[in-house]
Amino acid sequence: MLSIVRGGPRLLLLSGNEDAMKSLVSSRFTCTEHTLEGAFDSAGEGQSVLLFRGGQWGSGRRFLMAAAAADEILALFLNSGAEARPVSVRIMPRLLFFRVFGEKERVIGQIARDYSAERGRLRSVLRVPKKGSIAVCFTAKPLNRPLSLADMMDEVLHVEGVSFETLLNSLRSRALWYFSEGLENRQWNELEIRIYDSWGRYLDHYERLRIVLESLEAGMILGEGWGKDFAHILMAVKIYRLRLFTFLPPSTIKEILIGLEYGADGSRLVDFDLYSGKEKISWGGLGGKGKERGERGSMGTALRAKLFSQLFPEDRQHLQEWESRILRQRTGEGNPGN
């Protein structure tokens, strides 16, 4: 799957009895304190970031991140005693996150024209908002995880005159078209991945591949199934194949596949072949100076480390568990074919 647009956390500026307000919110919802950067790093869609007593947006300020929507928090304050009730509440612009890839200016410019948006910078979302203002922020990172300030592009679009739900639904309906605007030649790549395993653990390796593609939100699987390849004339080899529709170039997908071919100990776990149409994408084109086995192994180890650095911690753990299971099965079964 591929997420292109989603909502962000809601920012509330509150004045009043800070200790009483914090105590009330923390007693009802799961809360943690952060700096502004830390709050953005941890907050996800449907959560709220609270700043108390106005103050400056400096590094010394502490923000309360609550695992609750803003309307739930405001209802809690409204129904609370006078001590914990805010003197004033300022709601900062609603946030939308949009993922771009490639030529970002072409995407941002098209959205700005379509919605008559005012351009701004990332820090502008912390200013006093105009009524009904919505900030559309842009990132090249997958949207299936919390986003940090470092993940965000500095360019922001401020949209007025439309409700948050209307804008979100409108962007979602056009998301794939906008996203494709940024691609080279405005085209997606349809690739075929073939899985070869003399030990017969095809579906184990498919699961490993699926974990990675979903974690990176690298595209969409259009189909999968069993097939045959002919390594030599009249010698059929069983394979598992899948069709991937991706915005990433074939070379990037090839890097991912090579990284998945090797385990933590440097052992070869599986063979993945990649085709674009009838053309086989070779590993030699990724910078290898030759085709010696040792060079490919070194490349595989390096690309495995690069791949793991891009994944969720839980996804890295799942891959390591799969690797351990595959290696244990090999040890228990002896030689392939037994």
DSSP string, 248-303: S-HHHHHHHHHHHHB-TTS-B--EEEEEETTEE--GGGGT-SS--HHHHHHHHHHH
- Confirm if 336 and 229 have CB atoms less than 8 A apart: no
Beta strands 94-99; 134-139: pairing state: parallel
pLDDT digit string, tens, across residues 70-124: 999 999 999 988 889 999 888 888 889 999 999 999 999 999 999 999 999 887 7
Place of tokens 């771009």: 100
**Whether residue 12 is found in the same domain as residue 139:** yes
**pLDDT given at position 284:** 72
**Whether residue 104 is found in the same domain as residue 14:** yes
Mean pLDDT of 221-250: 87
* Within-domain flag for 281: yes
DSSP reduced 3-state for 10: strand
* Within-domain flag for 119: yes
* Within-domain flag for 123: yes
**pLDDT given at position 59:** 45
pLDDT digit string, tens, across residues 172-226: 999 999 999 998 777 899 999 999 998 999 999 999 999 999 999 999 999 999 9
* Within-domain flag for 135: yes
**Whether residue 139 is found in the same domain as residue 33:** yes
Measured distance CA(181)–CA(179) in Å, rounded: 5
Can you read off the two tokens belonging to residue 271?
């063979």
pLDDT digit string, tens, across residues 287-302: 544 445 567 788 889 9
pLDDT of 306 higher than 70: yes
pLDDT digit string, tens, across residues 217-228: 999 999 999 998
From 168, 184, 200, the end of a domain falls on 184
**Whether residue 126 is found in the same domain as residue 221:** no
* Within-domain flag for 338: no
| Domain span holding position 217 | 189-333
pLDDT digit string, tens, across residues 30-79: 998 887 777 777 777 888 989 886 544 444 566 889 999 999 999 999 99
**Whether residue 159 is found in the same domain as residue 281:** no
From 184, 199, 230, the end of a domain falls on 184
- Confirm if 47 and 95 have CB atoms less than 8 A apart: no
**Whether residue 168 is found in the same domain as residue 205:** no
From 138, 155, 184, the end of a domain falls on 184
**Whether residue 146 is found in the same domain as residue 272:** no
The model carries a pTM of: 0.81
Q: How many domains does the chain have?
A: 2
Q: What percent of the chain has pLDDT over 70?
A: 89
pLDDT of 308 higher than 90: yes
pLDDT of 236 higher than 50: yes
**Whether residue 100 is found in the same domain as residue 206:** no
